[in-house]
A and B are shown apart, each in its own frame.
Chain A
């Protein structure tokens, strides 16, 4: 059952990303990604990480991509988002990507060699909360500071000229 879900979800994820690459419409790209991230959220759920799965859908698919949609709305180029034509860049990108794929596969060969299985137990969001406030308290606080900084930065950057 789980495997079936996994296959389906991953197929949809990859498919929508591929469509996003091919499509020339910015809004389409964004919406496709919303779908892709939601499927990915499902995959997270399959990994016994319920909190992360929900957070993925709420934050990534629901907030970040919506933000992108707003941006497209304000200054996007709509259907006019062409693909890169310069062969040198594309070729280099493809070649390097293939190499990267090979390298990463080699790097993870220990995991990829079948048959592997998970050793971890199911996790509890409450325990996650515990960790956040004990072992990872410091990064937690720093990240909140980071968000504030980002907020202030965005406000500052968003001002019109002449405003104080």
Chain B
């Protein structure tokens, strides 16, 4: 009933918004949230496409894994951001360029 294209359009829009959010925000924490948006958009795309192709379960398995890994990634990433914050008391992306080549 719901056309699969609909889900996909939603996924694309969410992904692009996630990208824009990443570049528009200035602090690391919010930028990280934008990454999560992108991951979710990808999840949606996986589900829709796998169901469209006829093997819905595999898509769900993949989404399952992505969620798990995203959780672990969020943990470690937040720990790192916390350290970064501890160093300089600022979490703005613009203040961090010590690795200039």
A residues whose Cβ falls under 8 Å from a Cβ of B: 2-3, 6, 10, 13-14, 17-18, 20-21, 26, 29-30, 33, 36-37, 40, 43-44, 46-49, 51-52, 55-56, 59-60, 63-65, 67-68, 71-72, 74-77, 81-84, 89-90, 92-94, 96-97, 100-101, 104-105, 108, 111-121, 123, 127-128, 131-132, 136, 139-140, 143, 146-147, 149-151, 153-154, 157-158
A13 touches B14 (CB 8 A): yes
User: What is the minimal beta-carbon distance from B66 to any residue of chain A, in angstroms?
Assistant: 10
Q: Mark B29-43, 1 if CB is under 8 A from A, else 0.
A: 110110011001001
B19 touches A93 (CB 8 A): yes
A48 touches B51 (CB 8 A): yes
**Size range of the interface on B?**
35 or more
Looking at chain A's contact residues, the main secondary structure is: helix
B8 touches A112 (CB 8 A): yes
User: What is the minimal beta-carbon distance from B49 to any residue of chain A, in angstroms?
Assistant: 7
Q: Pick the contact of A56 from B67, B74, B75 — CB < 8 Å?
A: B67
B82 touches A158 (CB 8 A): yes
B residues whose Cβ falls under 8 Å from a Cβ of A: 1-10, 12-27, 29-30, 32-33, 36-37, 40, 43-44, 47-61, 63-65, 67-76, 78-83, 85-86, 91
Q: Pick the contact of A68 from B29, B49, B55, B79 — CB < 8 Å?
A: B29
A115 touches B3 (CB 8 A): yes
- Closest A-B pairs by Cβ, 5 of them: A150-B72, A93-B23, A157-B79, A120-B56, A112-B5
User: What is the minimal beta-carbon distance from A19 to any residue of chain B, in angstroms?
Assistant: 11
